[in-house]
């Protein structure tokens, strides 16, 4: 599971983990990272790219990670789970 740390009203930190490394992203970096991962997913969906490693930048941290497709797919799945959690948590009845 994951947690969200509230820093001040409307400003949250979201934890992500890539293998054994943990990172805290603020909300805007997290949403940007999701967009960035969507593009990488399209890259890995091409047959000729399935065995390639890529260097990704972790937004807001000035850090980079070299990852392969399997590590990426786990990260992408974790991010989508977090997004779905937010979607469910913020559904309002009209």
Task: Identify whether 42 is part of a domain.
Answer: yes
Q: What is the total count of domains within the chain?
A: 1
Q: What is the pLDDT of residues 77-94, one digit of tens each?
A: 999 998 888 777 766 544
Domain limits at 27?
4-89
Q: What is the pLDDT of residues 25-39, one digit of tens each?
A: 988 888 889 999 999
Overall pTM surpassing 0.85 (yes/no): no
State the angle between helix axes of 27-44 and 69-89 in degrees (0 to 180), rounded to the nearest 10. Answer: 130
Task: Identify whether 94 is part of a domain.
Answer: no
Task: Identify whether 62 is part of a domain.
Answer: yes
């Amino acid at each position: 599971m994951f947690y969200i740390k509230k820093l001040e009203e409307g400003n949250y930190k979201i934890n992500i983990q890539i293998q054994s490394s943990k990172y805290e992203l603020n909300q805007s970096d997290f949403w940007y990272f999701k967009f960035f991962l969507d593009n990488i997913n399209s890259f890995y969906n091409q047959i000729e790219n399935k065995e390639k490693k890529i260097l990704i930048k972790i937004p807001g941290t000035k850090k980079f990670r070299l990852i392969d497709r399997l590590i990426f797919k786990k990260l992408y799945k974790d991010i989508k789970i977090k997004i779905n959690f937010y979607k469910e948590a913020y559904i309002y009845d009209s």
